[in-house]
Amino acid sequence: MRQQINSRIPGHRHQMSLVVLFSITASALGTTLASSAGATEALVIDRFGNRHDLSAIRIKDRTELEYYVGDERRKASFDHIQKFVVDGATGDEERPVKVHLRSGRVDAGMLFTGGQESSANQGFNASSSGGRAPTGVSGKTSLGPWLLSLDDVREVRFQHPEGEPAPAERPALKAAVVTTKGALFEVADLLLAKKQILRYSQNRRKMTLDLAKIERIQFAEYSSGQEDRQITITLWGGTAVHGSVNATVARYTGETDKQYARRVGAAVTGNMAEGLFSAGMHEIKLIRFHPIATEAAGATGANSSPSPAAD
Amino acid sequence: MRTIFQFGTCCRSLALLAVVAGAAALALSCATTSAYDDYGPDPILAGKGRLTLQAGGIPRLNFYVIDTATEKEVHADTPLQGAFAPSAFQASLVESNLSVDLDPGVYRVVVNTHIEESVELPEVEVRMGEETPVMIRVGRFQLIMVGGATRLPFMIMDYNMSNVLGRGMTTPDVRHFIVPEGHYKIRLENSSNGIDTQRPLEVSFGRITPIQIGTSITTEEPDEAADQ
């Protein structure tokens, strides 16, 4: 009997060890798959010319790059970036950057690196404004975790999976814009607050909608001093969505002339044959987008008289 | 010898029986005390999965959930007041609204903040009977007014002060403003209190960034000329 038990135990132990081994392997594999999902590999060159191969790269603890092109703040996901090169003098808080997107576009702008104050060990600093946001580039190398101040980074080349199609640029949208005074403008590359996104509110919720999905936006009558304007959005599928957009012309305390002009007077922008188009939300009655496929044919009959608000 | 061996086997069996009985009693006692009455989260509803937002210690958020298959909103909750509301304050004890039970599927989660930018997760898969935690990259900041000034409007701007991202109102009570993680500038100008300042603001996940503003502070750097 004891021999039988003894003879069973090694087999049982063997099975148990196999189960444990399998479960550990499975969990490790699962963890690896989970962690590798969405993790981007990149090659980082620091200002001394050293090369670092990283996996799971993060910049400022995020998987997107935030930079400024002129007055516009842009965010590009790592999936959309081929590489970016940081120029300028080390130690400057604001450094010129060239962002090469996978679509072929190159954005030349400014990158806030944090300057020399940024370090790998930023913590709570009571003398300053408080908790510091992470400003470095982090990731993993074959030797372990890796961290470098963004101020010391010269170039980052992202490595995307082979065969993965590059994200395409959004096509420029053309639209007919009718103002509250009845003027009609044919506008190309129409943007709302410098983006192809409509921000509106609906029952205390802030909603966003891609302009490419919209056929037209109808604005309700505007009265002086009105802060929000009711809008009716008609999608290309025929669905109607109701909401409101901020159309205040009141000036905020502390707002400069340029900031006010940008917020109020340049809420709707685009290009016309005569020059730039610029208008405020309080000046618009209707925006009717042209279909992207037939935009070339639709743009021929443009009735574009000069805009009083055009720059 | 055989008697001793039988006695040992008997004792071993009794000990094993006692352990099994003890474990059974423990399990029964746990089951009868209804573990979900006072402690821990409620059980996931039958046939549903649980979506849990992890916001670094923030108990409540304004968010809504859209089913990507139908593009219809399946859940929405907006308990937080706007940043410009003068009566809002931070309560010390609040019930979290960051968990919601949903049918299995793929959802788009949009979290509204106190500025016009929202944090959006385009595809979150919820599986039946499982809890799906998702991290929301938002942080908090708090304006501390020194010198008696209480309710003052201020602006939240991007870091190069080109665009106004939102407005807020200071309150005498403790109040946390929720914004996406990143770098911002705070602009506060009030002639009657003699305050005219702009401050860099770094908001990070899981922290509350304090900004101290007041007339008693004399170590401020002179404001740089804005792009008037």
pLDDT at B179: 94
- First-residue to last-residue Cα distance in chain A: 98
pLDDT at B32: 45
Question: A210-216: long-range contacts (C-beta < 8 A, 24 or more apart)?
Answer: A211/A173, A211/A289, A212/A170, A212/A171, A212/A173, A212/A292, A214/A289, A215/A288, A215/A289, A216/A286, A216/A287, A216/A288, A216/A289
The span from the CA of A192 to the CA of A219, in Å, is 14
What distance in Å separates residue B39's CA from the closest CA in chain A? Answer: 29
pLDDT at B18: 64
What distance in Å separates residue A254's CA from the closest CA in chain B? Answer: 5
> What's the distance, CA B176 to chain centroid?
11
Picking from A92-101, A269-278, B185-194, which range would have the lowest pLDDT averaged per residue? B185-194
B193 vs A193, more confident = A193
Q: Tell me, what DSSP letter sits at residue B62?
A: E
Those residues of chain A whose CB sits closer than 8 Å to some CB in chain B are 60-62, 66, 68, 71-73, 94, 110, 112, 124, 129-134, 193, 199, 203-208, 252-259, 262-263
What distance in Å separates residue B43's CA from the closest CA in chain A? Answer: 25
Picking from A197-211, B123-137, B184-198, which range would have the lowest pLDDT averaged per residue? B184-198
Tens of pLDDT along A203-235?
888 999 999 999 999 999 888 878 889 999 999
Q: What angle do CA B199, B141, A261 make, to 5 degrees?
A: 50
pLDDT at B19: 64
Pair of tokens at residue B114: 């106190």
The span from the CA of B66 to the CA of B106, in Å, is 9
Q: How far is CA B81 from CA A247, B77, B87, B177, in A?
A: 20, 12, 9, 10
Q: What mean pLDDT is predicted for residues A133-142?
A: 81
Given an 8 Å threshold on Cβ–Cβ distance, is B112 in contact with A130?
no
Nearest CA in chain B to A199: B116
Q: How far is CA A179 from CA A47, A138, B28, in A?
A: 52, 49, 73
- Give the best residue of A65, A122, A204, A227 to mutate against chain B (max B CB count within 10 A): A204
What distance in Å separates residue B77's CA from the closest CA in chain A? Answer: 9
B109 falls in which pLDDT band (50, 70, 90)?
very high
Nearest alpha-carbon partner for B207 in A129, A282, A238: A129
Picking from A77-91, A207-221, A234-248, B37-51, which range would have the lowest pLDDT averaged per residue? B37-51
Pair of tokens at residue B67: 């089913």
The one-letter code for the residue type at A178 is V
B87 vs A127, more confident = B87
Closest CB from B137, B141, B188 relative to A62: B137
**Position B103 pLDDT exceeds 50:** yes
The span from the CA of A156 to the CA of A280, in Å, is 39
Given an 8 Å threshold on Cβ–Cβ distance, is A129 in contact with B181?
no
Q: What angle do CA A262, B168, B144 make, to 5 degrees?
A: 130
Closest CB from B116, B137, B209 relative to A206: B116
B22 falls in which pLDDT band (50, 70, 90)?
low
Q: How many CB pairs under 8 A join A and B?
A: 109
**Position A20 pLDDT exceeds 90:** no
Pair of tokens at residue A97: 């950057």
- Contacts with A132 from chain B: Cβ below 8 Å: 202, 204
Taking all residues of chain A, what is their mean pLDDT, rounded to a whole number? Answer: 79
Tens of pLDDT along B201-219?
988 888 899 988 875 544 4
pLDDT at A131: 47
What distance in Å separates residue A144's CA from the closest CA in chain B? Answer: 23
Pair of tokens at residue B135: 């991290």
Nearest alpha-carbon partner for B131 in B9, B41, B38, B223: B41
Nearest CA in chain A to B212: A129
Most confident region among A16-30, A113-127, B159-173 by mean pLDDT: B159-173
What distance in Å separates residue B121's CA from the closest CA in chain A? Answer: 13
- Contacts with A228 from chain B: Cβ below 8 Å: none
Residue B63 φ then ψ, to 5°: -150, 160
pTM assigned to the model: 0.72
pLDDT at A179: 94
Closest CB from A73, A199, A204 relative to B163: A73
pLDDT at B42: 84
- Contacts with A256 from chain B: Cβ below 8 Å: 226-228
pLDDT at A10: 47
- Contacts with A131 from chain B: Cβ below 8 Å: 202, 204, 207-209
A131 vs A102, more confident = A102
**Position B24 pLDDT exceeds 70:** no
What distance in Å separates residue A68's CA from the closest CA in chain B? Answer: 8
Given an 8 Å threshold on Cβ–Cβ distance, is B182 in contact with A132?
no
Tens of pLDDT along A156-214?
999 998 888 888 778 899 999 999 999 999 999 999 988 899 999 998 889 999 999 99
Neighbours of A307 (CB within 10 A): 20
Nearest CA in chain A to B203: A133
Closest CB from A133, A252, A256 relative to B203: A133
Given an 8 Å threshold on Cβ–Cβ distance, is B182 in contact with A124?
no
- For A156-193, letters b (16+ CB in 10 Å) and e give bbbebeeeeeeeeeeeebbbbbbbeeebebbbbbbbbb
pLDDT at B212: 87
A228 and A245 Cβ atoms separated by less than 8 Å = yes
Nearest CA in chain B to A253: B189
Closest CB from B154, B196, B211 relative to A129: B211
- Give the best residue of B151, B163, B208, B228 to mutate against chain A (max A CB count within 10 A): B163
Picking from A262-271, B26-35, B81-90, B95-104, which range would have the lowest pLDDT averaged per residue? B26-35
pLDDT at A17: 53
Given an 8 Å threshold on Cβ–Cβ distance, is B164 in contact with A124?
no
Given an 8 Å threshold on Cβ–Cβ distance, is A110 in contact with B160?
yes
Picking from A46-55, B14-23, B125-134, which range would have the lowest pLDDT averaged per residue? B14-23
Given an 8 Å threshold on Cβ–Cβ distance, is A252 in contact with B153?
yes
Given an 8 Å threshold on Cβ–Cβ distance, is A132 in contact with B204?
yes
**Position B196 pLDDT exceeds 70:** yes
Neighbours of A87 (CB within 10 A): 13
Most confident region among A104-118, A146-160, B79-93 by mean pLDDT: A146-160
pLDDT at A57: 92
Given an 8 Å threshold on Cβ–Cβ distance, is A130 in contact with B207?
yes
Q: How far is CA A29 from CA A33, A41, A131, B161, in A?
A: 6, 19, 36, 46
pLDDT at B108: 95
Nearest alpha-carbon partner for A60 in A160, A183, A150, A182: A150
Write the DSSP string, B40-58. Answer: SPPPPPTT-EEEEEE-TT-
Given an 8 Å threshold on Cβ–Cβ distance, is B155 in contact with A255?
yes
pLDDT at B40: 72
A219 and A260 Cβ atoms separated by less than 8 Å = no
Strand A153-159 with A174-179, pairing: unpaired
The span from the CA of A274 to the CA of A268, in Å, is 16
